Amino acid sequence: MEKEIDIHRIREILPHRYPFLLVDRVVSLTPGERLTAVKNVTANEPFFDGHFPYRPVFPGVLMLESIAQASAILVSLIIDAKASQKNVYLFAGVDKARFKAPVEPGDQLLIEVALEAQRRALWKCSGKITVDGHTVCSADVLFTHRPIE
C-alpha cells in the first residue's frame, strides 16, 4: 500500500476535477486509520475573484470540502473505489465545525483526517487543517459513497 500519493493517483481515486479538486498530495497514510494531505492555496484560484477581491480569503466551506475529500481518499483505499461516472461521494453531515483563523493565498493546508466510524455505507471521519502548525479549521464529516442512478 502506498504511503504517499501524488496528484495523478488522487485523480484516479476522486471524481472531483478543477476547480473543485482540493487535495494536491497525500504525504502520509496509515491504511484504514488516518491520512495527511496537502492543499496549496494559490492567488489564481477562481473563487478569490469574489471572496474577497480586496482581501482574498479561502472559503470555510472549501476547507470543509478539503477535509471531506481527504476522508474520501482514505475510505476509497479501504473499499478499493475508483473515480467513475457510475458513483459519487455525498455529504451526510458536518459536526463540530470550527474556524480558527483565515487562510490566504500562499498558505499550505495540512489536512489530517482519521476514520472514526463506519456503518453500512456511511462513514465518519474527524479532520483538522493546520497552516504553519496552527489549527485553522476542524470538523467531523459524515459521507456516503454510492452508485449514481
DSSP for 110-125 reads EEEEEEEEEETTEEEE
DSSP for 62-108 reads HHHHHHHHHHHHHHHHHHT----TTEEEEEEEEEEEEE-S---TT-E
List the Cα angle 72/128/106 in 5-degree steps. Answer: 95
Instruction: For residue 93, give the C-alpha cell.
Output: 453531515
134 is catalytic: no
Cis amide leading into 19 (omega within 30): yes
Q: Write the DSSP symbol of residue 49.
A: G
Which of 8, 51, 134, 145 is labelled catalytic? Answer: 51
**Which residues belong to the active site?**
51
